[in-house]
Amino acid sequence: MSDCLFCHILSGDIPSSKVYEDDDVYAFKDIHPKAPTHVLVIPKHHIATLDDAKDALQLGLLMQKVSYIANEVLKLKAGYRVITNVREGGGQVVFHLHVHILGGKKLAF
Ligand code: AMP
Ligand code: ZN
């Protein structure tokens, strides 16, 4: 998607602070962190929202990668929070499916 911020990050047109990458996902630091560790995990192909993700295997893979990144890359040993905002009412601003990983402090609900 030519007008998608996160597709521009994937192509390298817009710089980002990469923390992990493989064939399926790209993970980078959120530019406005809400916790000591705040990383975004995105699929490498454009999906606008969670509601547009029709492939259960791809979604499961994405969540497995989120767990791997949180534990093995970010070393969030005490635990972490996973958030996906869905469409305007859910606070989604960038319409390329992404999973927030938040950690590094005790998170109140
Ligand atoms: P959401 O509200 O769920 O769509 O979250 C979008 C997130 O993208 C926000 O937490 C922003 O701080 C983050 N963000 C926006 N632009 C960038 C960027 N260029 N690099 C890293 N994170 C960004
Ligand atoms: Zn995109």
What residue ranges do the domains of the chain occupy?
Answer: 5-103
pTM: 0.97
Query: Does residue 69 sit in helix, strand or coil?
Result: helix
Q: Which residue, among 52, 27, 24, 49, has the nearest Cα to 38 in the 3D structure?
A: 27
pLDDT value for 67:
98
As a whole number of angstroms, the distance between CA 108 and CA 38 comes to: 15
Instruction: Please give the distance, rounded to the nearest whole angstrom, from the Cα atom of residue 34 to the centre of ligand 1.
Output: 11
Instruction: Please give the distance, rounded to the nearest whole angstrom, from the Cα atom of residue 58 to the centre of ligand 1.
Output: 22
Contacts of 50 (CB under 8 A, 6+ apart): 84, 86, 97
pLDDT value for 43:
98
Task: Name the CATH code of domain 5-103 (choices 3.30.1540.10, 1.10.1140.10, 3.30.428.10, 3.40.50.12280).
Answer: 3.30.428.10
Counting ligands in written order, the one closest to the CA of 14 is: 1
pLDDT value for 109:
85
Q: Which residues of the chain have pLDDT under 70?
A: 1
Q: What number does the ligand 1 atom closest to the CA of 94 have?
A: 4
Q: Which residue, among 102, 88, 97, has the nearest Cα to 6 in the 3D structure?
A: 97
